Amino acid sequence: MASNNRITKVAIVGVRWRQRGQVHDRSPSQTGKHTVTAITRIDSQTPLPEGVSVKKVDYNKPGTVVEALRGQDALVVTLSGHALSLQDDLTKAAGEAGVPWILPNAWGPNVTDEALVRDVPMFKPFVSTGFWYEWSLAIPPAFGLDLKNRSVTLFDEGRTKISISSWPQVGRAVAALLSLPIRSEGSDKSACLENFKNQLVYVNSFTINQKDMLESVLRVTATKESDWSTAKEPARERYAAGQKEMQAGNRAGFGKVMYTRVFFTDGVGDTEHSRGTIDKVLGLEKEDGHLDEYTKVALGRSKSSQWHKQ
């Protein structure tokens, strides 16, 4: 169990280290305060960062998961959207193993907004980071920018701002959150895990719109807007089209629905201003000055990234 009012042993499930390595380079494994264990499938060949131990489990045998989690102070779940059925099994196993703290699979937009949860049933609590910028920008149906073919589809006028996080910022947020004392220490009563227990907390890197993204891409690629083909599509019409694609069995429709919904003009995607963040509590700085750096990462990903591979 946690000692000295601090979490020390952290288990992580669902880590794609090669794709999300930038998250975990800044994760609990790098703080010097945590011992990190990756819980992986018995047939997994995924390489792990130095300093991370591994425990292999068979999800068809729940007892192996319980045993792997026994003695851990916290469980961080980072499953893909296509493996969310494991979430309940992991939560149950963590409970049986006596793991007191769980950061569930909810790395995305504001999941307490009733309209968003109604329109995109996938969204459930507890840590809202907004979409991951480097990941999403490289996917044409996501933010509407096809970096490979130099085309952009603006939702409405492309000026609706949404709160987004970079991979490194997500890693820093997780590490900082798990580094807080369990119960308050000193004069700052807000900076403790007990204060955030069973709540949704918000972090982000920047709050920007599609126009901001395009301007960053133009800077990084040394191109002009005239070098790109530009189209506009009403966000609500795009969302409706995505729903029809989903009903027809087209997987890309899910991406359209999920991403386009946060660009509605109801402000649901701008959690920085509608909900506020705990960035200051966690010691996180805004990353507006690093936008182009992360755009370069997305540009590199776009050369091989296709929606059907996500």
Residues 111, 100 within the same domain:
no
Give the torsion sign (CA, 223, 228, 234, 239).
negative
Asked if 299 and 221 count as a contact pair (C-beta separation under 8 A), the reply is yes
Say what angle helices 210-221 and 291-302 make with each other, to 10 degrees.
80
310 in a structural domain: no
Closest to 203 in 3D by CA, of 86, 103, 83, 91: 103
Residues 84, 182 within the same domain:
no
If you write DSSP's letter for every residue of 204-221 in order, what string do you get? -SEEE-HHHHHHHHHHHH
Residue 25 predicted with pLDDT over 60: no
Higher pLDDT, 21 or 12: 12
Q: Which residue type occupies 287?
A: E
309 in a structural domain: no
Which residues have CB under 8 Å from 16's CB, separation 6+? 46, 78, 80
Note the Cα 265 to chain centre separation in Å: 22
- Other beta carbons less than 10 A from residue 258's beta carbon: 23
Residues 127, 242 within the same domain:
yes
164 in a structural domain: yes
Residues 214, 129 within the same domain:
yes
For the chain, give the percent of residues with pLDDT over 90: 63
Q: Which of 59, 89, 105 is the last residue of a domain?
A: 105
- Beta 151-155 vs 145-146: how paired, if at all? antiparallel
Residues 60, 88 within the same domain:
yes
Q: The tokens of 264 are what?
A: 């509605």
- Count of structural domains within the chain: 2
In terms of residue numbers, what domain contains 198? 107-304
- pLDDT tens for 59-72 read 999 999 999 999 99
Residues 176, 298 within the same domain:
yes
- Other beta carbons less than 10 A from residue 303's beta carbon: 9
Q: Which of 90, 105, 120 is the last residue of a domain?
A: 105
pLDDT of the residue at 83:
59
106-112: average pLDDT: 51
- pLDDT tens for 138-162 read 999 999 999 999 999 999 999 999 9
The lowest-confidence range among 21-35, 49-63, 78-92 is: 21-35
Q: Which of 49, 73, 105 is the last residue of a domain?
A: 105
Single pTM value for the model? 0.84
